[in-house]
């Protein structure tokens, strides 16, 4: 972990390195956010990163979405996911062979319909909700689904930031006095 107060003064390369993996294979987001330092808190950092994505070209947005792996896909089975994706996908447990087949089928249908992977914040959803999400989101038009994917990526980035960046408590009630 790195403290926000230590992240803010970093040079561009170190800043980008410290945020590596927050957005899947997309260091350009941190590179652009670096110019808007310093960040008062984690929420401002996250908001800035999201604004960089929102202001990016349609091509860059699609590249960002496509950088995400299929859930329970070939990369997961081959062990080639990023550290962050590996930890997140590990939360999808107790998979039966039928579940795996359904993920594979739904991933293929989703790719065929939209041209990018199904992205969902696994930390906020259990297996059944994810599978139901495939069904409901396959009904969307491509523009709606692109917005949904970017919203889910924003949530994923928030959790990854919270795992990576620590900031001092802003209120005495937030402090943990048990460890001293």
Determine contact, residues 49/157, Cβ cutoff 8 Å. Answer: yes
In what helix (H) or strand (E) does residue 165 lie, and over which residues does it extend?
Answer: strand 165-166
R_g of the chain computed on alpha carbons: 18
Strand-pairing partners, residue 3, are 166
Which candidate, 162, 151, 111, places its Cα nearest to that of 134?
Answer: 111
Helices (H), ranges, 9-141: 12-18, 27-34, 42-55, 58-66, 74-78, 83-89, 97-114, 127-137
Q: Specify whether 171 is catalytic.
A: no
Asked if 18 and 11 touch (Cβ cutoff 8 Å), the reply is no
Q: Catalytic: which of 25, 46, 68, 179?
A: 68
Do 23 and 64 meet the contact criterion of CB atoms below 8 Å apart?
yes
Would you please indicate which residues are annotated as catalytic (active-site) residues? 68
């Amino acid at each position: 972990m790195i403290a926000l107060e230590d992240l803010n003064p970093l040079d561009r390369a170190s800043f980008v390195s410290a945020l590596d993996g927050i957005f899947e294979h997309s260091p350009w987001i941190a590179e652009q956010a670096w110019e808007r330092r310093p960040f008062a808190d984690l929420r401002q950092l996250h908001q800035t990163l999201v604004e960089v994505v929102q202001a990016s070209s349609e091509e860059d947005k699609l590249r960002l979405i496509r950088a995400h792996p299929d859930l329970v896909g070939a990369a997961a089975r081959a062990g080639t996911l990023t550290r962050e994706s590996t930890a997140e996908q590990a939360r999808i447990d107790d998979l039966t062979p039928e579940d795996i087949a359904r993920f594979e089928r739904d991933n293929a249908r989703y790719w065929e319909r939209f041209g990018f992977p199904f992205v969902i914040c696994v930390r906020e959803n259990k297996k059944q909700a994810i599978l139901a999400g495939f069904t409901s989101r396959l009904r969307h038009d491509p523009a709606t689904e692109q917005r949904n994917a970017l919203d889910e990526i924003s949530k994923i980035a928030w959790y990854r930031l919270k795992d990576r960046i620590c900031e001092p408590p802003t209120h005495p009630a937030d402090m943990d006095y048990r460890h001293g």
